Amino acid sequence: MFDDFLFRAFVAGIGLAIITGPLGCFIVWRRLSYFGDTLAHSALLGVLIAYALSFNIILSVFVISGIISLSLLYLQKKTYLPNDALLGLLAHSVLAIGLVLLGLLTFIRIDLMGLLFGDILSVNFQDILIIWIGGAFVLLLLIKLWRPLFAGTVNSDLAKAEGLNPELANSIFTILIAAVIAISIKIVGILLITGLLILPASASRNLSSTPIQMVIIASIVGLISVVLGLFSSITWNTATGPTILSVALGIFVLTLFPWKKLLISKKEIRLINK
Amino acid sequence: MENSLIELKNCGVIRNNKWLVRGISLKVNQGQIVTLIGPNGSGKSTTAKMALGILKPDEGSNTIKSNIKISYVPQKISIDWSLPLRVIDFMNLIEKFTTSEIEEALSLTGIKNLIFSDVRNLSGGEFQRLLMARAIAKNPDFLVLDEPVQGVDYPGEIALYKTIQEIVKNINCGILLISHNLHVVMSQTDHVICLNGHVCCSGAPKSIVKEPEYIKLFGKNIDPTLAFYQHEHDHQHLPDGSVDQSN
């Protein structure tokens, strides 16, 4: 069964969608969209190091993104610069280092398109193992961290005053984002990872009225996007990552329609007719 | 004292070479209301944060009795629109309660009917009542209220202060209250500390109007009769504006 590349692609994609849902919600709530982008930019460096040392790509990207996340936390405390400046600083300097390295390491030939946009159809059994085991680990940690992380998202002082440790939760959460970005690089690529985190969560926001609802719906939207996106990309022979995101965008647009209002007004009309 | 819940000893916080507060000493005992008053930027919230242990003093020491349950009503909370959050979700933010516990706390502050409303649709006063309700529901040993009546209308303010008094009676907790409302300070509190970067003066509520340092800070024009004005309403308003028919 795992011999079929399509089957592997589905298993990998579904695993990913389940984790990006809850994580994406926290990214939206905490206004960390550009943080995801910064980590994604650093992924090029991670991939290059993996090739140079013939090391596992996912692990290497995770280590580099982890270092970048911790540097950000450090710079936030050490400098007076605003977050967006720090994120830009990190994103582009790491990207630059990656590109310089790419020029130096002439013996490496990498599939740049695959790196940028993902190549889910080349997912192998080892990748699936990493996605599901890594993903389960991320999800478990997120459930464990939920209370301090969520309370800290609402109000950090309040959480701290009442005995939680939102700062520790925040640091671990940052590492979790790095992990998920590393896991998802093969599937959606560097350029589109943030989209996979943010689009399902945003679509879900339009439909939900409680935090838990938003997390669950985000995972479902991600799941539908991955499944429909994969089918479409095979049918029309389009790049997989962009196709998955296009489906997610389609769902987001659908959620913009005032469904609730439409239903209510129909009811009202019926009442009036009676 | 053995039953002192928190104690600040000569505490100071320095930021960018400027002392935000310095030489702050205060104590809150069980069943006691301590009120901090002072003008804007006088370091009331900073002092409260030291008492809560959120902020480590750069000099002096803050001691918090171990294993006490702390509730905090912060001055301002802005909730991001991206976060769907109902009143009941907010109540369960730090500690999970049963629905009946939540309803009880919400009816104490008069917003039981809003239990399933979205938090961002609450008015300023309603949100303040929600913060209070959540703090009460925890049954704390030590409660810090940072301007708990801001944005609450006048009858609501009195009602909230009455609630605070009842809490102290019922659960016998210590309260650190931050206020700029002299009148309410006078009528409710055990010990007043007037703050402006340092402790200007402190004492029991009645003695404070006589302290010269205090008069220098706020001017001589505070009308003492206003401060002691007793409201004699023949009716009371419920939070939704209707007249309370129960008595």
- Domain spans, chain B: 1-69+143-231, 85-139
Average pLDDT over residues B77-88: 89
Tell me what pLDDT residue B237 has: 47
Compute φ and ψ for A24, nearest 5 degrees: -60, -40
Number of domains in chain A: 1
Q: What residues of B are in contact with residue A210 (Cβ under 8 Å)?
A: 84-86, 89
A210 and chain B: CB distance < 8 Å anywhere?
yes
Host domain of residue A117: 5-273
Q: What letter would DSSP give residue A95?
A: H
How long is chain B?
247
Q: How confident is the model at residue A76 (pLDDT cuts 50, 70, 90)?
A: confident
Report the mean per-residue pLDDT for chain B.
78
Q: How confident is the model at residue A21 (pLDDT cuts 50, 70, 90)?
A: very high
Q: What is the ipTM of this complex?
A: 0.81
Tell me what pLDDT residue B171 has: 79
Q: What residues of B are in contact with residue A77 (Cβ under 8 Å)?
A: none
Give the residue from B132, B143, B146 showing the smallest Cα distance to B46.
Answer: B146
More confident residue, A166 or B149: A166
Interchain contact, B74 vs A213, CB within 8 Å: no
Residue B120, C-beta contacts closer than 8 angstroms, at least 6 positions apart = B79, B81, B85
More confident residue, B200 or B122: B122
Q: How confident is the model at residue A264 (pLDDT cuts 50, 70, 90)?
A: low
For position A112, which CATH number holds?
1.10.3470.10
Rounded CA-CA distance B149/B154 in Å is 9
Tell me what pLDDT residue B233 has: 37
- Half-sphere exposure of B213 toward its Cβ, with a 13 Å CA cutoff? 13
Quickly list H helices, chain B. Answer: 44-52, 87-91, 99-108, 124-137, 154-171, 182-188, 212-218, 224-227
Q: What residues of A are in contact with residue B80 (Cβ under 8 Å)?
A: 29, 31
Q: What residues of B are in contact with residue A28 (Cβ under 8 Å)?
A: 82
Tell me what pLDDT residue B241 has: 44
Residue A213 CA, distance from chain mean position: 18
Average pLDDT over residues A120-129: 83
Rounded CA-CA distance B152/B146 in Å is 14
- C-alpha distance from B15 to closest chain A C-alpha (Å): 13
pLDDT digits (tens, 9 = 90+) for A82-100: 888 999 999 999 989 988 9
Q: State both tokens at A224.
A: 């539908």
B14 and chain A: CB distance < 8 Å anywhere?
no
Tell me what pLDDT residue A247 has: 95
- Domain at B1-69+143-231: CATH architecture: 3-Layer(aba) Sandwich (3.40)
pTM of the model: 0.82
Average pLDDT over residues A159-173: 91
